[in-house]
Amino acid sequence: MAYSEDHIALAAEYVLGTLDATERAQAEVMMAADADFKALVEVLDQKFAVLNQMVGSVEPRDEIWEKIRAAFGLAGAQQPLVLPCDSSAPVAPEAPTVAAAEKSADASNVVALSQETRRWRSVARVASALAAALLVLFGIQLAQPDWLPESLRPKPRVKIVQVQAPAAPSHAQYVAALRKDGGGPAFILTVDASTWDFTVRKIDAPPEQGKSYELWLISDKLGAPRSLGVVGESDFTARPVLASYDPGIVKDATYAVTVEPQGGAPNGKPTSAPVYTGKLIETVPAPSR
């Protein structure tokens, strides 16, 4: 049910306690007869309850009470009630005159105008009180939310974090299993296409006393095998020598390991047949353009 501004102002002033006795009785009668109006009063009471929670009770000073008594004529000694000497004689009421009637009409107009003005002032006071309450509530929610009841505290915001998938490699990677006669791999050769560096991992190659394992690159485009250095003295061997070769040769070549004298072939040429061989295969493709 929609209420006029007068009804809203009446409900708000009832909650604030600014009505006189007559208007307060009128509001209570409306609350008893109209459930919607009673609900309106309860809603406003909850809104203004925030102000009551933030303001403690203050006992007026003695001088304030004296001023209140003085305003109602209660200060000092009370004067006795003076009655007419002849109380038995009836007093005839005076007949109203034309001037008195006009004065009464003017007074009724002034009273009506005064009530209307006061009503609009009440509406303005209620609106200002609501705005102030909301402003104070908003400020406390930002600065000190723990001061407020649980129902008035701001709800925590859930921050959504977007998790990106790991970036795909920007280059291809190759690997070759160097083995003997179809057996298990003795060495694993890994090549990074971004730098053409290679790493050799020793897997199951038996040690050769007084000898060294040496890695070779074999390609029809190069003629004689090219040494890539001694491997196998430790579990991992890493070198950047493949960067000096054409990438096509590196990817298509055969890689072989021979057993050479300690420290490698003396003349840069293999002195024995390959023991372990293998070719590169692409394990991580280059990103598509």
Q: Are 162 and 47 in contact (CB under 8 A)?
A: no
Q: Among 54-58, 87-91, 179-183, where is mean pLDDT lowest?
A: 87-91
pLDDT digit string (tens) for 6-56? 888 888 888 888 888 888 888 888 888 888 889 988 988 887 776 665 555
What is the average pLDDT across 83-109? Answer: 51
**What are the boundaries of each domain within the chain?**
1-57+103-163, 173-284
> Which class would CATH give 173-284?
mainly beta
With a cut of 50, say whether residue 240 has pLDDT above it. Answer: yes
- Tell me the pLDDT of the chain averaged across its residues: 76
**Cα–Cα distance for residue pair 55/45, rounded to 1 Å:** 15
- Residue 88 is given by DSSP the state T
What's the confidence (pLDDT) of residue 67? 80
Q: Are 226 and 253 in contact (CB under 8 A)?
A: no
> What Rg do the C-alpha atoms of the chain give, in angstroms?
51
What is the average pLDDT across 234-249? Answer: 90
What's the confidence (pLDDT) of residue 99? 54
Instruction: Output the DSSP codes for 178-236.
Output: EESTT--EEEEEEEETTTTEEEEEE-SPPP-TTEEEEEEEE-TTTSS-EEEEEE-SSSE
Q: How confident is the model at residue 168 (pLDDT cuts 50, 70, 90)?
A: very low
Q: Give pTM, 2 decimals.
A: 0.42
